[in-house]
Structure 1
Amino acid sequence: MKLLHNNLNGILISDGVGVGKTISAGYILLFLISKLNQSGIVVCPPSLLIKWKEELESKFDLKGIVVTNIEELATMENELQTIRSKKRPTVYIMPSSILNKIKFGEKTQVSVIVFDEIHNFRNDETLGYRNARKISLHAEYRVGLSATPINNSIDDFISELSILFPFNSREAVSILIDDLWDQNKSMITNSLVTRFTKEHLGIHFAKRIVKTAEIEYPQEYIRKIKNIISKIPTTRDSFFEKVTYYRLAASSSQAFSKSVGIKEELIEQDPKISAASKIMDEIKNEKWVIFCEFSETVNAIEKEFVNRWTTFVMTGETPLLERQKIINNFRESEKSILIMTPVGSEGLDVQFCSAVMNYDLHWNPMRMEQRIGRIDRVGQEKDKIYIVNLLVNGSIDLRILQVIEEKLSLISNSIFELSSLIKQKSDKVIEIFDKRSFDSEFEISKKFLQSLKYWESFPLEDYSIIPKINIELCNAEKLLKSSKQEHVNWFKNNKEYTKWKNDFIKKSKPIQERINLYS
């Protein structure tokens, strides 16, 4: 409803993890493709191509065509150039990496384009961002999906909105946000954003049982890695590089050794792998999803467990077309483990599993929540799920969390609960980082806190209209029929809908006027 009436033809859906952003986008695609008799486009991470195709075809009877190469792109462009027909509605699903190869004609138009995980385009200096804005110009309507639209700073939010409103400059969007924030936050959010969370909806998929295991690396190991890092040549990006090396060392000795090109075994037995094995034996869950940051750590974990568990691996090197097959095999196998790098933490659904292990910690709790949301979502049949966190004492991520915990708790109650995770720093702990690397990373965390404070304070009125919604239109077939009607009864009471629509248009009009003025 907002998309149809905010006069900008764009909307950011920022519902929490597991609430159903993909389903919401599916309804939008179904309605607008039918109403406008034009095809649609979904741009998503490579790992989600097959998932989108299956969701659209099974839940909405929409034909999904995956586009991953030049030949398929040429076919799509040719089909979009043809005269509209009464053929079955089509949605072209593509990874962002192919956007730079699209050469739409000036008159080529699609009904709607959906950017899944739109925060991946948040950096306005990248080619990906520019390509996203370019393709948006060819869509009548534009939809962005992200549970975490702000990862680093409010600039992320501005970039995302400027993709959804491509006829206005990014500078105009930036001025709009800055101008209205102090005056009327609700004018921004209620017109341009929808945001539902499990907490506010009263949805509780399963009880979370959180367990932690503290890891102490030997002093000799820490001395060795610090000595090696100190000898690495300094570059312009040395602070970033050093933080990565320290993270590698806290992830696994194998990952660190490979990254610096040494064959020497820095430690005889990695205590982290031992702790993971012990706690899995204690919980005795039949399936585990294990998240870690580095592919070499994935290999080390697989080597440890391959003789006792059925193991599956998913990293950035895993071919796209094999990823869904891996998930299916993981589902069907008994006593199985899926070990993955962050490539799997966005959009992946494994709610048939009820235990997740954060093998590598990250100070950004939204990243942690993304991981947990892979199992704690609609479709989880277990009454309780297990969340295991391995805490490496002295690691840079744990130290930052110890510093920012209080501020983080004051800002947000809707992200991953940290109280059971964070303990006070001990004077006896040897730090696996240096001060300059910590200060550099801490500055990033402060920007994140400021942005999170901004985002969490967004006022939204959406919850108040939920009881009024005509739930019959949640049926795909009935929604499809309604797309051909001049007037759609979105509310149970049509008079209430007319009043809401008129009020919404009135409130949204200043947004359109200001952004056009700034442009």
Structure 2
Amino acid sequence: MRAHFAVGYFFLSGFKAIADQLAAVQELRLLIGNTSDRATIEQLAEGHASREAIIAHQREGEFLNAQQRAKLVAEGERRIRERLERLDQTDEDQALVTELVRLISENKLKVKVFTRSRLHAKAYIFDYPANRFERGIAVVGSSNLSLAGLRDNTELNVVVHGNGNHEQLLTWFNRLWDEAEPFDAQLMNQLQSSWALDESVTPYELYLKVLYHLTKDRLEEPDVPMPADFPPLADFQWAAVKSGIRLLRLRQGVFIADVVGLGKSFVAAALLKWLKVRERQRALIICPTPLVKMWRDRFVDRYDLGAGVLSMGMLSQPNFAFEEERYQNKQLVLLDESHNFRHSDSLRYDRLFQFVRSLDLPVVLLTATPRNSRARDILNQIRLFNADDRIDLGVEPRSLGKYFKLVENDERPLPPLLQYFLIRRTRKHIREHWPDAKVDGRPVRFPVRNLKTIDYSIEKTYGGFYKTLRNLIEPPNPDKKKNVGMTYARYGLHLYVVAAKKDVAPYNDLVRAGQRLHGLMRTLLFKRLESSVEAFRQTATRLIERHKIFLNGLDDGVIIAGEGVEDLLKGVEEGDSENADLRTELEKLSQKYDPADFRLADLRRDVTADMATLQEMAKHVEPITPDKDAKLQRLLKWLDAEPLLRSHKLLIFTQYIDTAQYVTEQLRAAKVRPPETIERADSSRDDLQTLVNRFAPIANEAKAPVKNPIHLLVATDVLSEGLNLQDAALILNYDLHFNPVRLIQRFGRIDRINSPHTEIFAFNFLPELELERHLGIRAILRERIEDIHQTIGEDAAILEPDEQLNADAMYAIYEGDGKRLEAIEDDMDRQVDLEVQEAEDLLRRIKRQQPELFARITSLPNAIRTAKSMGSAGVPPAAVGVPPGASSYPVIFFFGQAGDFQRLWLADAEGNILAEDNHSSIAAITCPPTEKRQPLPPQYNALVTALKAKFDQQYQDYLAAGGTPHRLTASQRWALDTIRDAYKQAAALLTQTPETKDMLTRLERLRSLWSVSPLDGRVEFALRGLRNQKPALDDAIKRLESLAFEHKLDVLAERHGEISKLALEPAIICTEALI
């Protein structure tokens, strides 16, 4: 028997229903209709188009050129592929695909696509054997070859008998068959490359496919033109701009967190320029005081960014208010050096938070050091643009607060969450993934870093009293028979509150503040002791005055707490973490307390003793003049002898203003260089940009020859952030490094993209004692590390991470091991390594260097599977949370998606979900290109089918809880929330009038229109403007309807309709057995 089917659509479900009956068929010719023109003629007719227009459209389909026919064939192949991807992964369906391939290969099944026009008629024609009188029989009607078409009782079909009828139908079919395009090869290709038959997919290819799907929106986002008046950017910088635009739309905020020297400011300025030109958004730039002039002159004015610039220091001023028009008319905020807003309990954070949240402004955060903040500090910055606790970002739990709590307890990694908000690349990353990057036609390169150590005697510096002073800084310890030392009673008031009041407000807050202040003050004294004689002398003098004032207050019946903040913080830069910590804790104490609630006698005794201790310290350092200052004299000797200084400028860094002023004065007095070429840069100067231009005129593009150029600049860390100083190739760090972060930040001032220098140098002062002079550097470092442990001790835990001791880094720095320091820096960066960022750039590199592999990955169909050995690494139970006693072999990796709803799971053989976060799942499937494919385990189809059912249910639960299938912008979420509120209000009315029902219908329609994703940029801009106006509910609904009509969202919804319906169906992207 031979058969001839002419159908509009071909569904595997329909073929499956008749598969058993095809055994007796010698040949089946299957003619599939052209579905790409679906319903076009009907739509024309419903739109009351003229008869001529309808006929003309119909004729267009009858005269297609070869390219048009090929396009229709490709469309048919795409549809077959999509149906195969969504075919249930059961043994029965796998056998069905196998049978189809057999029939095609044996020439029993032949398939063509009719491309001339839509195949309206459906006919199933059967030829009887030659020995029968009747030549055949046919069924003609409305049924397609689908399960619904064969079984649905709404279809209408008629059985046609008679040889004449059979001959006419066969003639009709043959005419169409001859006009149709062959489709056997395309169908065979899709069947053989489907999950059911393709056993060629390697574990590495599946791993890359997962990465591709996670980064597809980044890789395929349309290019955005840059205004011609902005300077050229490197490819990796422009990629960051595009990612920033996308993340701002999706998340309302983005961290631009490339390491120092990669041009974050240019990326941010380009982003602001694009937003101003394309979306008419004007920004408010908030930055540290030293960067205000840089932002205004170098970016805002030069490139017409239309932005305002505000010093973050202004936010701490008593009379400052964001209510002024020049702030209220901005559409987004750029926060430079955003780590300065890591403390949510500071005044400036509270003011900024209230401002951005009241206007619902997007926020761009610039910082090179997200890794140096505690988890809660990063959370505080995220809260500036993401006030909602609920998140749906492929991490568990889906609560910001709960997730960060787990991070703090080392139960969750931070990168899986950060990757949804943060753009970060390191030098190593650029070298690996963007090796051909260029800026303005020049290849991107970085200078080689060199580390050198300068030792000096700290014992001689303090006239033999160093150990005495260090002993006085440390608290008394009766257990060790140590009766002298600072008690820091002035900063530990909680210890003196009477027992009945300790747990009562406001004293219950004193405990934490007091513990932190105790440690911070102890550390402050120790670090200034090492920095310079002058810094320690000034600090002791100030503290003596503060203690006198406190004791006078006790005489007057007043507890002075938190007063004199500015006086105490003299010598510490505004942006310094030491300043931020002290300011925050002291502000907490700035309130009046009742002296009756304290043990005043004990408090007076200990504060008096501390003042006496400070006076003893001051007595020891008072006689030390510059000529007796061994550290200063060592610097002068080095300046005279270092050959590199003959041809290079020098930047001397210190943490403290007192040290900077002292060193500058002494260098001028010693006339190591002409006095006018020696300058100091700290926050007490109001001409910082002028100093920078005099020191680095080339890097800062000075418009005219510089008068009085600077060759030796002494600076605090006010210059360690955001400024370009790469005219210099040398830096000298006058203070001891506890931690590599300051060194890395300072190196970043001269280690910039396309520095004029092939090598740069960092010289680092290292203190030693007289007894240690015969020891090697490693032994001396051991002694210094022990000093730090002994002096700061348990208080180290309260320090910011960038202030805490990093012994490995200290060895690397002072032993001059640049490679080891770079490895430590890379290890620190792993704390915020972004899998999605790495994946995106890995795939970009593969696309450039291995185009065949990239084409293979992007062409792999969904639902594919493979298997690999767990190997020696395996899937650590602790890492993925395998329940005790659970069967863990094989472990199944499952990737499901519906719209933008994605889930990556690891499950055991019983279907128990072992891990629900992307990080663990990706780690489990990561493998090298050489990884061998293993055979799939028995019952694999059943395991995958069970997981697919769980995924389907989770997706339905997600939708029922108010989730949306597409990623929505913040403005879209506002629109849908507004519509939802209006719907609830209308539905709650007791009397449901026709008008009310009509309103509910209108709101449902409006909800569907504003759910379309992605929105056109113009629509998004208009919607954001409406949202910022905060209209009343009724007015908002009217204007949403007006915007939907104006921007033809109904047409957009229709255009997205068919594709969206299929894309929203839960589907398997891929699976893998780990055995």
**Candidates 377, 380, 389, aligned match of 2:752:** 377
CA–CA separation in structure 2 for the residues paired with 1:454 and 1:308: 43
CA 1:434–1:264 in 2, change beyond 3 Å: closer, same or farther?
farther
TM-score by length of 2: 0.36
Give yes or no for the alignment of 1:294 onto 2:656.
Answer: yes
> 1:445 Cα shift?
7.1
Give yes or no for the alignment of 1:246 onto 2:246.
Answer: no
Determine the structure 2 residue equivalent to 1:326: 691
**Candidates 374, 377, 383, aligned match of 1:162:** 383
Determine the structure 2 residue equivalent to 1:174: 401
CA–CA separation in structure 2 for the residues paired with 1:36 and 1:430: 54
TM-score by length of 1: 0.72
**Candidates 423, 435, 458, aligned match of 2:790:** 435
> 1:51 Cα shift?
0.7
CA 1:308–1:135 in 2, change beyond 3 Å: closer, same or farther?
same
Give yes or no for the alignment of 1:264 onto 2:622.
Answer: yes
CA–CA separation in structure 2 for the residues paired with 1:428 and 1:185: 35
Give yes or no for the alignment of 1:273 onto 2:603.
Answer: no
Secondary structure at 1:164's aligned position in 2?
coil
Residues 465-504 of structure 1: pairs in structure 2 closer than 5 A: none
Deviations 1:278-336 (A, max 9, x none): 333313323111111222211221122112222111122222xx110111222345562
> 1:111 Cα shift?
3.0
Determine the structure 2 residue equivalent to 1:212: 453
Give yes or no for the alignment of 1:199 onto 2:423.
Answer: no
CA 1:422–1:28 in 2, change beyond 3 Å: closer, same or farther?
farther
CA 1:445–1:113 in 2, change beyond 3 Å: closer, same or farther?
closer
Native 8 Å contact 1:351 1:379 kept in 2: no
CA 1:132–1:364 in 2, change beyond 3 Å: closer, same or farther?
farther
Counterpart of 2:691, as a letter, is: I
Deviations 1:461-499 (A, max 9, x none): 3423656999xxxxxxxxxxxxxxxxxxxxxx9xx9xxx
> 1:359 Cα shift?
0.8
Give yes or no for the alignment of 1:62 onto 2:304.
Answer: yes
> 1:210 Cα shift?
1.3
Deviations 1:19-39 (A, max 9, x none): 111111111101112222232
CA 1:424–1:512 in 2, change beyond 3 Å: closer, same or farther?
farther
> 1:14 Cα shift?
1.0
Give yes or no for the alignment of 1:317 onto 2:684.
Answer: yes
CA–CA separation in structure 2 for the residues paired with 1:217 and 1:228: 16
Deviations 1:30-84 (A, max 9, x none): 111222223211111010011111232476x215xxxxxxxxxxxxxxxxxxxxx
Secondary structure at 1:218's aligned position in 2?
helix
> 1:2 Cα shift?
3.6
> 1:456 Cα shift?
3.9
Counterpart of 2:529, as a letter, is: A
Give yes or no for the alignment of 1:32 onto 2:275.
Answer: yes
Determine the structure 2 residue equivalent to 1:464: 842
CA–CA separation in structure 1 for the residues paired with 2:830 and 2:718: 27
Secondary structure at 2:452's aligned position in 1?
strand
CA–CA separation in structure 1 for the residues paired with 2:785 and 2:765: 17
Native 8 Å contact 1:348 1:374 kept in 2: yes
**Candidates 91, 98, 106, aligned match of 2:314:** 98
> 1:430 Cα shift?
11
> 1:92 Cα shift?
0.4
CA–CA separation in structure 2 for the residues paired with 1:343 and 1:305: 20
Counterpart of 2:314, as a letter, is: I
Task: Point out where structure 1 has 5 or more consecutive residues left out of the alignment.
Answer: 64-89, 395-420, 471-492, 497-501
Secondary structure at 1:360's aligned position in 2?
coil
> 1:510 Cα shift?
9.3
> 1:246 Cα shift?
1.4
Residues 7-26 of structure 1: pairs in structure 2 closer than 5 A: 7-26=250-269
> 1:158 Cα shift?
1.0
Counting matched residue pairs gives 431
Residues 49-128 of structure 1: pairs in structure 2 closer than 5 A: 49-57=292-300, 61-63=303-305, 90-99=306-315, 100-103=320-323, 108=328, 110-128=330-348
CA–CA separation in structure 2 for the residues paired with 1:336 and 1:361: 24
Native 8 Å contact 1:362 1:368 kept in 2: yes
**Candidates 460, 466, 490, aligned match of 1:222:** 466
> 1:93 Cα shift?
0.7
Determine the structure 2 residue equivalent to 1:336: 711
Secondary structure at 2:331's aligned position in 1?
strand
CA 1:37–1:457 in 2, change beyond 3 Å: closer, same or farther?
closer
Deviations 1:423-448 (A, max 9, x none): 24478779766725233126647797
**Candidates 38, 45, 49, aligned match of 2:288:** 45
Native 8 Å contact 1:134 1:166 kept in 2: no
Q: CA RMSD in A?
A: 4.0
Native 8 Å contact 1:191 1:507 kept in 2: no
Secondary structure at 1:147's aligned position in 2?
coil
> 1:232 Cα shift?
4.5
CA 1:191–1:504 in 2, change beyond 3 Å: closer, same or farther?
farther
Determine the structure 2 residue equivalent to 1:489: none
**Candidates 368, 374, 383, aligned match of 1:153:** 374
CA–CA separation in structure 1 for the residues paired with 2:342 and 2:719: 19
CA 1:127–1:95 in 2, change beyond 3 Å: closer, same or farther?
same
Which structure has more relative contact order (CA 8 Å, sep 6+)? It is 1
CA 1:30–1:427 in 2, change beyond 3 Å: closer, same or farther?
closer
Using the aligned pairs only, state the percent identity.
20
CA–CA separation in structure 1 for the residues paired with 2:709 and 2:735: 25
CA–CA separation in structure 2 for the residues paired with 1:215 and 1:368: 19
> 1:179 Cα shift?
6.8
Counterpart of 2:657, as a letter, is: S
> 1:167 Cα shift?
5.5
> 1:195 Cα shift?
0.6
CA–CA separation in structure 2 for the residues paired with 1:117 and 1:390: 27
CA 1:351–1:504 in 2, change beyond 3 Å: closer, same or farther?
farther
CA–CA separation in structure 2 for the residues paired with 1:40 and 1:317: 28
> 1:348 Cα shift?
1.8
CA–CA separation in structure 2 for the residues paired with 1:383 and 1:432: 37
Secondary structure at 1:388's aligned position in 2?
strand
Secondary structure at 1:101's aligned position in 2?
coil
Deviations 1:325-367 (A, max 9, x none): 1112223455621111122211121111111111112322122
CA–CA separation in structure 2 for the residues paired with 1:161 and 1:185: 13
Give yes or no for the alignment of 1:455 onto 2:835.
Answer: no
Q: Which moved more, 1:90-99 or 1:172-181?
A: 172-181
CA 1:323–1:369 in 2, change beyond 3 Å: closer, same or farther?
same
